[in-house]
Amino acid sequence: MLKRTLVGIFRSHDQTGEKAKDPALKTRNYKLSRDKIWDEVTSVLRNSGYKVLHEVKSVGEIVCEKRTVSGRKLDITLTLFALNPTATAVDIYSASRGSLGDLGANYRTILQIYSLLDRKLAAYKIT
């Protein structure tokens, strides 16, 4: 966590991906169709204090925002893409508004969203 805070002095965004060096930032895969994951993800976000701003189901993109304890806003984009008809991957991109770094807020936000999804969809997570 200290390393992420120090990196966050200069960087104001973070993202997940298949080739992420940090295992916590690896893409999450679930054994559910994209439509079912979509409903679960939007439900989790709304019930966890995230403000959903925009949803494009045909593209698989959900845009939301969250305020940090310091008052800054984070813009978060979740991308859901079907791996096959019964499996879906979820990637997250989070960026802070403003010019300075985020002190690791985007990293912590991504981990929080993944934690919420992993709890809700534990039976369907593909490891």
| pLDDT tens track for 39-74 | 999 999 999 999 999 999 999 999 999 988 878 899
Give CA torsion, residues 82, 24, 8, 19, to 10 deg. -60
Confirm if 33 and 86 have CB atoms less than 8 A apart: yes
Q: What is the tally of structural domains in the chain?
A: 1
pTM > 0.85 = yes
Tell me what the pLDDT averaged over the chain comes to: 90
Q: What is the pLDDT of residue 1?
A: 56
Confidence band for 102, pLDDT divided at 50, 70 and 90: confident
Flag whether pLDDT at 101 surpasses 60. Answer: yes
Query: What's the token pair of residue 80?
Result: 């859901």
Confidence band for 10, pLDDT divided at 50, 70 and 90: low
Confidence band for 2, pLDDT divided at 50, 70 and 90: low
Confidence band for 4, pLDDT divided at 50, 70 and 90: low
Mean pLDDT, to the nearest integer, of 26-32? 97
**Taking CA 92 as the corner, what is the angle to CA 90 and CA 98, rounded to the nearest 5 degrees?**
170
CATH code, 111: 3.30.310.220
Angle between helices 34-47 and 105-120 (to 10 degrees): 120
Question: Distance between CA 59 and CA 81 in Å, rounded?
Answer: 8
| Domain containing residue 82 | 2-126
Question: Distance between CA 125 and CA 97 in Å, rounded?
Answer: 32
Flag whether pLDDT at 122 surpasses 90. Answer: yes
Mean pLDDT, to the nearest integer, of 5-27? 82
User: In the 8-state DSSP scheme, what is residue 122?
Assistant: G
* Helix segments in the chain, DSSP class H: 2-7, 34-47, 105-120
Q: What is the pLDDT of residue 66?
A: 93
